[in-house]
């Protein structure tokens, strides 16, 4: 019953993360007092208490609100995820009540810095419920795309330091090696394209 209540709580409260009227987002009836939070690289951050979890959320929300306006969140998907392979290989299997759910959450906001174009972040989180208490015991933020603050960094590069906008990285084309030809007139590259080749004098 607690797992079902926790899933319902997440479904109802995650879209309210930036709602100023939202209250009691992390109640002890849903979150373990020793809940752990892990963020993805390059954010080397981890907490192991409900107080720290609440504080981390407050800091993140205040930081996002300082850089953006019109922030809102939408829950895209919630699905039951199988246990991690490491957990399945443990000598003492976890009880059948243990649950992991994966949640895809999309965040929207408008940067306070020009050009004020709407920004979107896609996040994936894995929540693990304790098999004994049914409370949320672990929350791992698997991905955040793009990382918050990347737009601010790009604006500083262009506006304050005069650097050109970064171009998307393009993978280098594979090298073309000619195949030997008896005539020396033509040779085929590694990609099968026939190219002319000059004969040595």
Please, what are the domains in the chain?
2-159 (3.10.450.50), 177-201 (no CATH)
Q: Where does the pLDDT of residue 81 fall: very low under 50, low under 70, confident under 90, or very high at 90 and above?
A: confident
118-140 pLDDT, tens digit each: 999 999 999 999 999 999 999 99
3-24 pLDDT, tens digit each: 999 999 999 999 999 998 888 8
Structural tokens at position 121: 């972040």
162-176 pLDDT, tens digit each: 555 555 444 455 444
CA neighbours closer than 13 Å in the CB half-sphere of residue 40: 12
Instruction: Give percent above pLDDT 90 in the chain.
Output: 46
Average pLDDT of the chain, as a whole number = 77
- The Cα 129–Cα 5 span in angstroms is 11
- The Cα 51–Cα 122 span in angstroms is 26
């Amino acid at each position: 019953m607690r797992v079902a209540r926790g899933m319902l709580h997440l479904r109802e409260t995650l879209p309210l993360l930036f709602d100023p009227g939202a209250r009691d987002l992390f109640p002890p009836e849903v979150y373990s007092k020793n809940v752990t939070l892990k963020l993805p690289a390059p954010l080397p951050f981890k907490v192991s208490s409900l107080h720290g979890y609440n504080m981390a959320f407050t800091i993140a929300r205040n930081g996002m609100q300082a850089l953006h306006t019109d922030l809102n969140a939408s829950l895209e998907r919630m699905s039951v995820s199988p246990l991690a392979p490491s957990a399945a290989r443990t000598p003492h299997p976890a009880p059948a009540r243990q649950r992991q759910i994966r949640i895809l959450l999309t965040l929207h906001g408008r940067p306070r810095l020009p050009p004020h174009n709407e920004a979107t972040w896609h996040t994936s989180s894995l929540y693990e419920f304790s098999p004994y208490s049914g409370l949320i015991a672990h929350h791992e933020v698997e991905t955040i795309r793009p990382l918050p603050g990347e737009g601010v960094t790009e604006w500083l590069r262009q506006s304050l330091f005069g650097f050109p906008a970064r171009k998307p990285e393009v993978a280098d084309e594979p090298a073309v090696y000619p195949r030997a030809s008896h005539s020396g007139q033509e040779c085929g590259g590694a990609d099968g394209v026939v190219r002319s080749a000059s004969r040595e004098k």
